[in-house]
Structure formats: C-alpha cells, structure tokens
C-alpha cells in the first residue's frame, strides 16, 4: 500500500455511533480528516465481539453485518480525498473504558483491573475460540466495506495485551505460562484474520512500548513480542506507551514520548513502524522520520484540533495551524461525543456561513481579547466583516494567560498565539491597553453595526480574613502577586477549593509547594480533582504527593473577622482550628461587563445590537468560550 505522505491520523473514536453503526456525523469527521491531507487514517473504537460491547452502543460493532454500509460510506469519502483507511479492531477484555456493559468483563485470568468495579470472568477455551471467530467475522466485514487494511489493537492493556502479560495472564493451560503460550491467542487471531484478507490488505499491530504500570510490560517485552509477530508477516507496527487511563498524555508529559520505543521495534524487526503520542507539529514529525526512528508518524488530538494540519504544512501555511493544547478537556469527555476545546467544528459540524463571504460587510467591534472575543473576531473577519478589537490589558488572552502560568499548563497560551496570528492575517484592528468605559461604549455603538462583549471574568471578592490570616486568590499565586511575607520555607499555606474541582486551586497548590510552602488543600467536595480530565488526575495527584501537599475532602473553611479560622466537616464532626500563614481562597469567578452595560444578555436595537459571550456571560471553560465566539462570528 502506498500512502501520499507519512502522516497518519491515529485511532480516536468519535462516539457518533448509534446501536454500533457509525452515523453521518462520524462519516463527516473522517471526511474532514481525509480532506485535510493526511496520508492514512486508522479508524478506532471498532469492537470484534458482543462480549466487549458497551450498553451505550457507542463503539462501532464490526462483527455485525449492519455496520458494512456505514463503513463503506466512510471508505468512500476517505478515498475520494486521496487518503487510505485502516480499521483498528479491539476487544477490551477486562476493561470497559468508563462505560457499563450488560455482559461481564472477560480476561485470560480473573484478575480485576483497578479501573473498573468488577473482577472479570476467566475465559474458557471455547469462549476464546468464539472471540477469535469474532476477529475473523469483523475482518471480513472490513474487507466487504472496502477498507485498505486492519490493525490489531494489542496495546493499552486490552485483551490481546492481557494475554501477553504475566501480570494479567496466570493461566496454566495452552494459553498461559510460557512466552509461546501467551502469544498463542494473538497467533490464532492473526491466522483467522488472514483467512479472509485479500493479498493486498494491510495488517498492522499496535503495541505498548511501555505499559507504565507496576509489574507491567516494558520495551524489552514489546520488542520480543514484535519480533514474534513479524514472523507471521505483520505489515506494520504502531507503537505507543501506557495502558487505559495513561496513554492519552496531557501537557505535563514531554512531546514524542514513544519515539525511542518505536526506534527499537523498527531496528529489531525491520518492519515499517508508526509512532505517535504527543507529536503535535510537523517539525517534530519530520525530525522523527529523518532520524530513522520511524517510517510513519501519527497524530490524534493534533488532527482533531486542526484536520488541515497536513495541507497547511505542505503549502507553507504553518502559521495558520491551530495547535492542540494537550489538555484532554473536550476531546476525552465524550459528552455525548467527540468535541475539541479549540476547534468548535468538531462534534458540531461547520456552520454553513463559515467560509462564505458576506454580501454586505458590517463594522463589528469586539470588546475583550480572551478566547471568546478572539474567536468571534477571527470568524467574523474571515467572512469579510471589518473587525476592530479592544483589549484593556497590554496582552491578549484574558484568564487563559493566568491559567497558562500554572505548572505544566503553559501550552494553554498556544490558543491565544494562534488566534493572534489569525487576526493579524485577517487584518483585524487590534487595540491593546484600551479599556472601555460607558462613554466609550456609547461611542462604539454609534459607529458599529454589531458589538461583541467578551470582557471575561475576574476572581470573586475575598472574604474578610480572620485575625493574623493573609488571604489571596489563585490568580495572585499564579501571577506572583503574593504579599510581602516572611521566607516561605517551613511556612504553611492552605488552599481552599470551594466546590470547583477543576484546575485553579490544584495549580495554586502545586505552585506553592514548588516554591517551598508546606501546603494543604481542602475542598467540601467528596472527591479530589473531580472535574479535571481523567487522564490528568493521576499525574497531578502524583506530583502533589511528591511535593508533599496534604489533600483533604469533605471540609468547609469558615473565616470570620473576629474569630479563628476553622475547618468544619461538610457532613458533621468537630471543627478544626487552623492558623496557616497564607490562605488561597478559590471561589467561582465573576463575570465582567464594560461600563455602561448592565444587562448580561446584551442589548438589542439601535444604535447597534450588543452580544455578550464567554466568561462575561457566565464563567466556564475554554471550549465554551471558543464555541460561543465561533457561533456568534458566523451569525453576525
């Protein structure tokens, strides 16, 4: 199989699936990827057997004949745009990826995963044979649908990998014990698949170079497995790191983490090798190929953030690429399906007005240079409107710039940098240090055809401190605006997360601990970091534990100007009197509106309508701000 370039869209399910069959939205997503110029697409989340089907039916069910027409539609649009399409087949085994199933989990041995509630049923030999038949039937359906190849998902701790690993395979029959016995299931799967594959149908295997769990498989195991499978005529290997909950690396991880492992597999087997995982730009991808570490480079989230990344790169438009932030916020939430924090079209489709020049350009004034205002300005200017933007600060970004100052969160500013470049390309008139008061707003409305208010939010007012307490906001901590206190070495700081569970309080705690403060974080919530994306919680809590941060749930902080600082159990119990040198009190942020605008819903009518979007309407996440800015920019 010949691909037009070495960039591969890695498997990333959309959940735009009904009763196991891809929907039109799923097909549109694959068309967007193919039209963006990628060489090959690996379509993931395709299950091979009823024993690995979720109750939601949001995974594509390759074993069902009903799936073939929808897959054929996907193949047609992918081929129409010049890309190749490979389907990744998987059985999750004892893992249920956060969803319920009406069937019990199954595995080589009855060893419970720490990620799900139930121990698995140990597969009988007859059940193993039935699952192998599922791989054969599923492969036959991919062939019928016209795909170019198939990839066996043998990574991330799913069923094939569960047979490989002595950690999860304690069998004493022909499928357990020796290396050869633990490889037997994979051999049967390959044999069954090959029996229904045409000679020109590509067969790949995805492997974890490092499972990154105690007692899990490492690169030496991966190389040995790859050498064995290469003897079966596998056409390519796709190398990744991690198991479920660990393989989608957030911004706290280094870029291109799996490249050394891929290089070892490639050198040991001589088989074409694909590598991905936190490869976010073509410069990194190009360096990997030029160094001979891999033959193909894969991206998942980077191509969700900007499906046109390959095309823009090939045509010298690197400055126009919308970079992935690596924060896993929207793309991993699946609420109810795939979305993206920086690309409002993912999961929603392209607004019909975007890309269409307006017949009568309007004078559009945007007040506020955070993500909502910047995106509204970008989309409106791209449609031909004359856009002027005012930002009160000396830099664009708003609250995102504060969040990007947190440890391991610097990539957040990438969305601001991208939008700033786009506004320059589209000739938007950007005015920094331009605060807007009531008189200014009245003047702007007299000149404008439409006014967009995106003035963002600010920290809530702090309570009056107890005697001897110094109270600050998260913004104060992250921006280095702490009061002049004695040397923090050995001093105590309390971070109070009031019903949020998201990054701000935890980022402040990490920043203080790194600066030498003995830090304690408490929250009235019943779980730690409950609104932080799942793949980020483990690394975050690990860093906080290493830094010595004391973490507590189920407590409310009570502060009075004439009394001591108290921690009370949210559900009862005796209060605890505390006396930290510094209190970081994190509350929900407060919307900010420009002078002269008192109605957060905006204002209709003459002299010009006013639309309020983003945090100035209701403080939320980057994805909400971008989506509202996109929608408004398309509808003006």
Q: What is the pLDDT of residues 445-457, one digit of tens each?
A: 999 999 999 999 9
In this structure, what are the phi and psi dihedrals at residue 51, rounded to the nearest 5 degrees? -70, -5
pLDDT at 311 over 80: yes
Instruction: Give residue 308's pLDDT band: very low, low, confident or very high (50, 70, 90).
Output: very high
- Share of residues in the chain with pLDDT > 70 (%): 98
Q: What is the pLDDT of residues 420-450, one digit of tens each?
A: 999 999 999 999 999 999 999 999 999 999 9
In this structure, what are the phi and psi dihedrals at residue 485, rounded to the nearest 5 degrees? -110, 165
State the Cα angle at 628 between 418 and 11, rounded to 5°: 65
pLDDT at 339 over 90: yes
- Regarding beta strands 565-569 and 555-558, do their DSSP bridges make them parallel or antiparallel, or are they unpaired? antiparallel
Region 469-477: what's the mean pLDDT? 95
Higher pLDDT among residues 130 and 468, named by residue: 130
Instruction: Give residue 538's pLDDT band: very low, low, confident or very high (50, 70, 90).
Output: very high
Q: What is the pLDDT of residues 93-112, one digit of tens each?
A: 999 887 889 999 999 999 99
pLDDT at 126 over 90: yes
Q: Could you identify the residue written with the tokens 């049923």? A: 121
Nearest to 152 by CA among 41, 46, 295: 46
State the sign of the Cα–Cα–Cα–Cα dihedral 13, 19, 20, 23: negative
Give the model's pLDDT for residue 42.
Answer: 98
Token pair of 439 as six digits: 């008189």
Give the model's pLDDT for residue 488.
Answer: 60
Region 551-567: what's the mean pLDDT? 93
Token pair of 269 as six digits: 């087997």
Region 45-56: what's the mean pLDDT? 95
Region 301-312: what's the mean pLDDT? 97
Give the model's pLDDT for residue 195.
Answer: 98
Instruction: Give residue 561's pLDDT band: very low, low, confident or very high (50, 70, 90).
Output: confident
Q: What is the DSSP string of 414-468?
A: HHHHHHHHHHHHTT-EEEES----HHHHHHHHHH-SEEEE---EEPPPPPPPPTT
Distance CA 321, CA 304 (A): 12
User: Cβ(90)–Cβ(47) under 8 Å?
Assistant: yes
Q: What is the pLDDT of residues 193-211, one digit of tens each?
A: 999 999 999 999 999 999 9
Region 209-233: what's the mean pLDDT? 97
Token pair of 187 as six digits: 């051999």
Region 99-127: what's the mean pLDDT? 95
Give the model's pLDDT for residue 209.
Answer: 98
Give the model's pLDDT for residue 271.
Answer: 98
Q: What is the pLDDT of residues 480-535, one digit of tens each?
A: 999 887 666 568 999 999 999 999 999 999 999 999 999 999 999 999 999 999 99
- Share of residues in the chain with pLDDT > 90 (%): 91
Q: What is the pLDDT of residues 81-97, one digit of tens each?
A: 999 999 999 999 999 88
pLDDT at 350 over 90: yes
Distance CA 341, CA 325 (A): 8
Give the model's pLDDT for residue 489.
Answer: 58
Average pLDDT, the chain: 95
Q: Structural domains in the chain?
A: 7-320 (3.20.20.70), 363-458+591-635 (3.40.50.720), 470-588 (3.50.50.60)
Give the lowest-confidence range in 68-77, 250-259, 292-301. 250-259
């Amino acid at each position: 199989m010949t691909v037009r370039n070495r960039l591969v869209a890695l498997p990333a399910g959309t959940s735009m699936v009904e009763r196991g069959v891809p929907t039109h939205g799923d097909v549109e997503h694959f068309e967007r990827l193919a039209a963006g110029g990628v060489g090959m697409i690996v379509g993931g989340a395709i299950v091979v057997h009823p024993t690995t089907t979720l109750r939601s039916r949001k995974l594509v069910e390759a074993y069902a004949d009903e799936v073939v027409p929808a897959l054929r539609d996907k193949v047609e649009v992918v081929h129409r745009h010049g890309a190749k399409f490979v389907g990744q087949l998987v059985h999750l085994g004892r893992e249920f990826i956060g969803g319920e199933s009406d069937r019990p989990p199954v595995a080589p041995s009855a060893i419970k995963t720490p990620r799900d509630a139930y121990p698995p049923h140990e597969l009988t030999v007859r059940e193993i044979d039935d699952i192998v038949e599922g791989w054969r039937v599923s492969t036959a359906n991919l062939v019928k649908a016209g795909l170019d190849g198939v990839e066996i998902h043998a990574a991330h701790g799913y069923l094939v990998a569960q047979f490989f690993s002595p950690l999860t395979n304690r069998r004493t029959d022909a499928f357990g014990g020796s290396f050869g016995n633990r490889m037997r299931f994979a051999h049967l799967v390959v044999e069954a698949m090959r029996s229904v594959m045409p000679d020109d149908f590509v067969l790949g295997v995805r492997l974890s170079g490092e499972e990154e769990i105690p007692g899990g498989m490492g690169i030496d195991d991966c190389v040995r497995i790859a050498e064995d499978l290469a003897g079966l005529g596998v056409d390519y290997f796709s190398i990744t790191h991690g198991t479920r909950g660990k393989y989608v690396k957030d911004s706290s991880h280094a870029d291109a983490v799996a490249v050394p492992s891929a290089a070892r597999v490639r050198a040991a087997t001589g088989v074409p090798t694909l590598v991905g995982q936190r490869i976010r730009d073509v410069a990194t991808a190009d360096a990997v190929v030029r160094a001979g570490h891999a033959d193909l480079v894969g991206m998942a989230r980077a191509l969700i953030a900007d499906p046109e990344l390959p095309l823009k790169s090939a045509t010298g438009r690197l400055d126009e690429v919308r970079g992935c932030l690596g924060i896993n916020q929207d793309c991993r939430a699946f609420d109810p399906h795939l979305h993206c924090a920086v690309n409002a079209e993912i999961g929603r489709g392209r607004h019909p007005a975007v890309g269409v020049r307006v017949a009568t350009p309007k004078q559009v004034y945007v007040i506020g240079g955070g993500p909502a205002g910047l995106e509204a300005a970008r989309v409106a200017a791209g449609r031909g409107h004359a856009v002027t933007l005012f930002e009160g600060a000396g830099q664009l970004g708003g609250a995102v710039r504060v969040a990007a100052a947190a440890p391991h969160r610097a990539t957040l500013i990438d969305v601001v940098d991208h939008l700033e470049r786009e506004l320059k390309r589209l000739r938007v008139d950007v005015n920094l240090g331009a605060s807007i008061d009531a008189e200014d707003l009245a003047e702007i409305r007299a000149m404008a055809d439409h006014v967009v208010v995106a003035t963002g939010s600010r920290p809530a007012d702090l309570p009056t401190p107890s005697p001897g307490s110094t109270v600050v906001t998260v913004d104060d901590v992250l921006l280095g605006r702490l009061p002049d206190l004695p040397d923090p070495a050995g001093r105590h700081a309390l971070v109070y997360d009031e019903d949020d569970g998201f990054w701000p309080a935890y980022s402040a705690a990490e920043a203080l601990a790194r600066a030498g403060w003995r830090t304690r974080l408490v929250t009235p919530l019943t779980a730690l970091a409950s609104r932080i994306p799942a793949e980020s919680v483990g690394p975050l809590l690990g860093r906080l534990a290493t830094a010595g941060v004391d973490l507590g749930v189920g407590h409310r902080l009570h502060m009075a100007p004439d009394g001591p600082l108290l921690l009370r159990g949210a559900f009862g119990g005796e209060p605890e009197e505390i006396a930290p040198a510094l209190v970081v009190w994190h509350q929900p942020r407060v919307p900010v509106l420009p002078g002269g605008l008192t109605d957060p819903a905006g204002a209709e009518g003459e002299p010009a309508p006013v639309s309020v979007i983003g945090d100035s309407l209701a403080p939320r996440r980057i994805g909400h701000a971008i989506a509202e800015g996109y929608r408004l920019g398309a509808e003006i």
